[in-house]
Amino acid sequence: MSWSEIAFICTAAVLLIVVVCFVIYTKKHKNEREHADKVDVIDGVRYTKNAQVLDEGGRPMVSLKQGDILLERGKVYTVGKGNLFAGKYTALSGEENCLSFNLRLGGLVKEYKHGSVVVLSEGDKISAVSCNVVLR
């Protein structure tokens, strides 16, 4: 076996190790990207910070990540039941072409913009009126 063959085999082995490490790193960090950004649950209260909700063109960025809550249009949800906790949420439109939407909160219907902050208290009833809404 010549030195060039040994060098080729060593280079191929190092390249294989780098590719395997890259695949492992990508799979490990893929799960982190699927979670809602900067969300903390402290003593049963959910806290979130605003993230970028509009793209460069000013259109709503519609995405559903793990930890987000989808409010289906016409369905009533009660805070404290299921996975809807009391706390501060960022309300996002469930449709790309919808910059504003209506939410019924506490019996009153109000118009919210994509990226508005909604504060929910224990026992509040909330429902999406005009389109599906994502709470992050």
* pLDDT tens readout for residues 92-104: 888 777 788 999 9
The C-alpha atoms of residue 10 and residue 125 are separated, in whole angstroms, by 64
Q: Are residues 93 and 118 in the same domain?
A: yes
Q: Are residues 26 and 64 in the same domain?
A: no
Q: Are residues 63 and 128 in the same domain?
A: yes
The pTM (predicted TM-score) of the whole model is 0.57
Q: Are residues 70 and 131 in the same domain?
A: yes
86: Cα within 13 Å, side-chain hemisphere: 8
Q: Are residues 56 and 118 in the same domain?
A: yes
- Residue numbers of the domain that contains 102: 39-135
**Worst-scoring range by mean pLDDT, 17-21, 34-38, 81-85?**
34-38
How many domains, the chain?
2
Residue 99: CB atoms within 10 Å: 14
